[in-house]
Amino acid sequence: MSIKRIEPGSRMSQAVIFENMVYLAGQVGTPAASIEEQTKSILDKIDRLLAESGTSKSNVLKAEIWLSDMKHFNEMNAVWDAWIDPANPPARACGESKLATPDFDVEIMITAAKV
């Protein structure tokens, strides 16, 4: 069994594939942009990484979302709801947390299957 790493760096890989599972690192968007722009940027990165990993948003099993402040919940969800495959919604958690810098208001981590 081999492990494939996508965009590996000294600290982390952006995606790791093991067997039929794809694990994405937490993705952040354009710093200091609006919550909608950050979320859209993140989801574009997720689409790209999932495609490179041989899967798609239809195969997302779990999403973990962190917001810098829960006041962003509705705005983030408006972008999320337009992106997610409504026939295949993942299990999901969303909470408030300090993020890496004050310029980030949302971070999303995805686990998906390759089918």
CATH number at 102 reads: 3.30.1330.40
**CA 98 from centre of chain:** 17
DSSP H or E segment with residue 37? helix 35-52
> What's the number of domains the chain is made of?
1
What are the pLDDT digits (tens) for 31-74?
999 999 999 999 999 999 999 999 999 999 999 999 999 999 99
Instruction: Report whether 16 contacts 6 (CB < 8 A).
Output: yes
- DSSP conformational letter for 57: G
| Band of residue 115 on the pLDDT scale cut at 50, 70, 90 | confident
pLDDT value for 51: 98
What are the pLDDT digits (tens) for 20-33?
999 999 999 999 99
Q: How many residues does the chain have?
A: 115
Question: Phi/psi at 14 (nearest 5 deg)?
Answer: -75, -25
Q: Which domain holds residue 73?
A: 3-113
Q: How far apart are CA 105 and CA 28, in angstroms?
A: 8
